[in-house]
Amino acid sequence: MTLTLGTDLTNELIAAADRDSITKYVVGAAIHDPEGRVLIMRRAAGDFMGGLWELPSGSVDRGEGLLEALHREVKEETGLQLVTVESYLGHFDYTSGSGKRARQFTFAATANVATTVRLSPDEHDAYLWADETEQNRVSEDVRTVLGTWKIRAGRPGRHLQA
C-alpha cells in the first residue's frame, strides 16, 4: 500500500516514531529553487550544534500536525512561505539538546524563492542556496535525505557524496 502525502502518511510516520520510543518530533524542508539548488542554513555558534549546516527545520508543537509544523517552522526560520510540499523524503534520529530521542521527518518543498530569506539570528547566522557541491556541507544524514530528493527529482547519477 502506498500512502500519499497527507493525513494517512503523517499518522503512520508518528505511529512508527512512537513504536521506536521517539519523544521529540522535528520537521525539515528541502526547499529547492528552479536551478536545483537547496536552501541550507548554518546554526549560530552559541546554539545547539553550532556551526552545523542544515535544512530549515524545527520542533513540532503539541497538538500540531507534521505539515502544519513544517509551514510554521519554515516561515519562522526563513521568512519564506511554502507553496507546495511535494513529497516525504525520509527521516533520521538524533539526541536533542535536551537529551530527548528526536526524529526529523524531512519533506521536499517549494517556496516563493523571490522572497529574501530572513534568518532568526539566535538560531542561524548564514544561509546558502547550495548547489551540488555545496550541499556536501550538511551532515551525512541530511545528505542521505537529499540523495532521495535527487532521485525523485529525476537526477539519476547525480548523488551527493558522503
Residue 159: the pLDDT is: 37
pLDDT at 1: 33
The answer to whether the Cα torsion of 143, 3, 101, 65 is positive or negative is: positive
Specify the pLDDT at position 64: 94
Determine whether domain 7-152 maps to CATH 3.40.50.2000: no
Average pLDDT over residues 15-39: 95
The H or E element containing residue 85 is: strand 82-95
Are 148 and 61 within 8 A, CB to CB? no
* Domain residue ranges of the chain, discontinuous segments joined by +: 7-152
- How far is residue 146's CA from residue 140's CA, in Å, rounded to a whole number? 10
**What percent of the chain has pLDDT above 90?**
73
> What would the pLDDT profile of 90-103 be if each residue is shown by its tens digit?
999 999 989 999 99
- Average pLDDT over the chain reads 89
**pLDDT bracket for residue 154 (50, 70, 90):** low
Express as a percent the part of the chain with pLDDT over 70: 92
Q: Residues near 74 by Cβ (< 8 Å), separated by ≥ 6? A: 29, 31, 56, 80, 81, 82, 109, 111
User: pLDDT tens digits, residue range 46-70?
Assistant: 878 888 999 999 999 999 999 999 9
Task: Average the pLDDT over each of 12-16, 45-49, 104-108, 118-122 and give the range with the smallest value.
Answer: 45-49
The answer to whether the pTM exceeds 0.85 is: yes
State mean pLDDT over 34-38: 91
Higher pLDDT: 123 or 3? It is: 123
